[in-house]
A and B are shown apart, each in its own frame.
Chain A
Amino acid sequence: MPSVMIRKDNEGKMTLYVAKKDQEDEISTIEFESADKWGGLIEMTDGTKYFIEPLDAMPKLPITLRARRG
């Protein structure tokens, strides 16, 4: 269960940063991305998947969350 930070970079793209691995990659898809449900399965551009317990509301980025390997 790594701690991951999701943020928008300077170009407005959403990135996911794994502190433990010092790895920052772009997010290609998020399973739920609406005002009342946000999170779920996240896929990175390189194909890695993470799962984040869906939140009830759209969070204010950046945010640190616990993620599981998806």
Chain B
Amino acid sequence: MSTMSRDETEALIQEVLEVYPAKAKKDREKHLAVNDHEVEQSKKCITSNKKSLPGVMTVRGCAYAGSKGVVWGPIKDMIHISHGPVGCGQYSRNGRRNYYIGTTGINAFVTMNFTSDFQEKDIVFGGDKKLSKLLEEVETLFPLNKGVSIQSECPIGLIGDDIEAVAKKATAATGKTVVPVRCEGFRGVSQSLGHHIANDAVRDWALDKRDDDDSFEKTAYDVAIIGDYNIGGDAWSSRILLEEIGLRVVSQWSGDGTIAEMELTPKVKLNLVHCYRSMNYISRHMEEKYGIPWMEYNFFGPTKTDESLRKIAAFFDESIQQKAEEVIAKYKLQYDTIIEKFRPRLEGKRVMLYIGGLRPRHVIGAYEDLGMEVVGTGYEFAHNDDYDRTIKEMGNATLLYDDVTGYEFEEFVKKVKPDLIGSGIKEKYIFQKMGVPFRQMHSWDYSGPYHGYDGFAIFARDMDMTLNNPCWKKLQAPWQVEETTEEAVAASA
């Protein structure tokens, strides 16, 4: 099926909405839209960041997921305690593939699960004593930790424990940073509020620790990578590019990051924001308090990477700009071969995305570099400002869906018939069983990195590997295959 017209897309949305009861239909209608380049502000065409409809399947996470899983979790030299019942920490453990350098259990703790394992008596009598004891034990068992963050699970907020007091007492005893984070899962409508709460916790408890300390030697080329979680090594493949153009990366937030890097961030010249959704809050704060400007960039696909490197270089002097051009020219040879190899195999294929954070709009460029077209995109937990940015990136009359329900997504796929879907693990097997090639785009389907020029090579290979996999032709049972093909096979043998 070729590209759909505006009317067809609108008709499709109406058709899908048909099954809902009137009230649900009214609600869901606002979250589905046809992209229109003439709309300047997304709030006129799509509603976002609203409570999911009861009774439908949503793939959203909770505030705890946003704080512990996304923002705080990857900071490798801190211990992140899942404070509350055991499940939240255990089932989210080691799921996001935030790579890091360090010896796990000695000086790095990302993939470990620390929990206060709440029992009935802790709910009844309060868990503060248990938390104090846990903090002491952690100090004895893992003396090389550089700090602790206490990530609240739902019951903490419900029973009203005073984790701030415990944190202050622990800091006084050990001198290490102890951060209480009030990211109880029931707060907000999705993980998005968790990001905000985590950013606020960084601001209030960690960021200003070295404000009066000028011993850190600054250079004019200091930058910080904000909002890169080093999934499959993403931050590393971004970092080498920035270093190659002559910048000094002082800190990585928060993939492969440390608490020391966080404390040094207020001393940089520019904050480079990759994931706008989860880290814009702290960037705005640093701009106001320390006067550090921030800039969004996009390292998916060579076109966008070139663009971003030039944009970043333009902020600095000519020596950086010149080096940026050299770097772009150097990698052009590399990525031209990649495009030459994979583009003919992927040309014209159509992709539907449904992911979170920055990817629904950021990866579009990478697909376009391979000659593919993104025909539908959507966010789990975006806000209006994300859609403002998405409208420009997407083609006219393509589908936009916010917090799409399981039913809607399946129906869209049945009608739009994309050649590839990029979404999460919860969608993966449904669509594979429907016979549609699928990439799990939350943690790059256990591959990666996808950022930068090096990442693009892996991205292109992965997309080809998935789309052109011979298994998609084998979905029909052998005895159901038409006679003619069987003869052809026999003839060729």
26 inter-chain pairs at a CB distance below 8 angstroms, sorted by A residue, are A5-B284, A5-B288, A7-B284, A7-B287, A7-B288, A10-B295, A17-B284, A19-B281, A22-B49, A22-B383, A22-B384, A22-B385, A23-B43, A23-B383, A23-B384, A23-B385, A24-B385, A24-B388, A25-B41, A46-B41, A60-B291, A62-B284, A62-B287, A62-B288, A63-B288, A64-B288
Interface residues of B in 269-298 (CB under 8 A from A): 281, 284, 287-288, 291, 295
Collect the chain B residues with CB atoms within 8 Å of residue A62's CB. Answer: 284, 287-288
Collect the chain B residues with CB atoms within 8 Å of residue A64's CB. Answer: 288
Interface size on B, residues (CB 8 A): 13
Residue of B nearest to A62 (CB): B288
- Residue pairs across A and B with CB atoms within 8 Å: the count is 26
Interface residues of B in 293-335 (CB under 8 A from A): 295
**Chain A interface size, under 10 / 10 to 19 / 20 to 34 / 35 or more:** 10 to 19
Residue of A nearest to B291 (CB): A60
Residue of B nearest to A60 (CB): B291
Beyond A24-B388, A63-B288, A64-B288, list 20 extra A-B contacts (CB 8 Å): A5-B284, A5-B288, A7-B284, A7-B287, A7-B288, A10-B295, A17-B284, A22-B49, A22-B385, A23-B43, A23-B383, A23-B384, A23-B385, A24-B385, A25-B41, A46-B41, A60-B291, A62-B284, A62-B287, A62-B288
Interface residues of B in 388-421 (CB under 8 A from A): 388
Instruction: Give residues in A with beta carbon < 8 Å to B.
Output: 5, 7, 10, 17, 19, 22-25, 46, 60, 62-64
Collect the chain B residues with CB atoms within 8 Å of residue A5's CB. Answer: 284, 288
The B interface, classified by DSSP as helix, strand, loop or mixed, is: helix
Instruction: Give residues in B with beta carbon < 8 Å to A.
Output: 41, 43, 49, 281, 284, 287-288, 291, 295, 383-385, 388
7 smallest A-B Cβ distances: which pairs?
A: A22-B383, A62-B288, A24-B385, A62-B287, A23-B384, A46-B41, A22-B385
Residue of A nearest to B311 (CB): A10
Q: How far is the CB of B275 from chain A (nearest CB, A)?
A: 14
A62 to B288 CA separation, bound complex (whole angstroms): 5
A62 to B383 CA separation, bound complex (whole angstroms): 22
Q: How far is the CB of A9 from chain B (nearest CB, A)?
A: 10
A22 to B287 CA separation, bound complex (whole angstroms): 17
Collect the chain A residues with CB atoms within 8 Å of residue B43's CB. Answer: 23
A5 to B289 CA separation, bound complex (whole angstroms): 12
Collect the chain B residues with CB atoms within 8 Å of residue A60's CB. Answer: 291
Q: How far is the CB of B195 from chain A (nearest CB, A)?
A: 11
A62 to B43 CA separation, bound complex (whole angstroms): 24
A22 to B385 CA separation, bound complex (whole angstroms): 7
Residue of B nearest to A64 (CB): B288
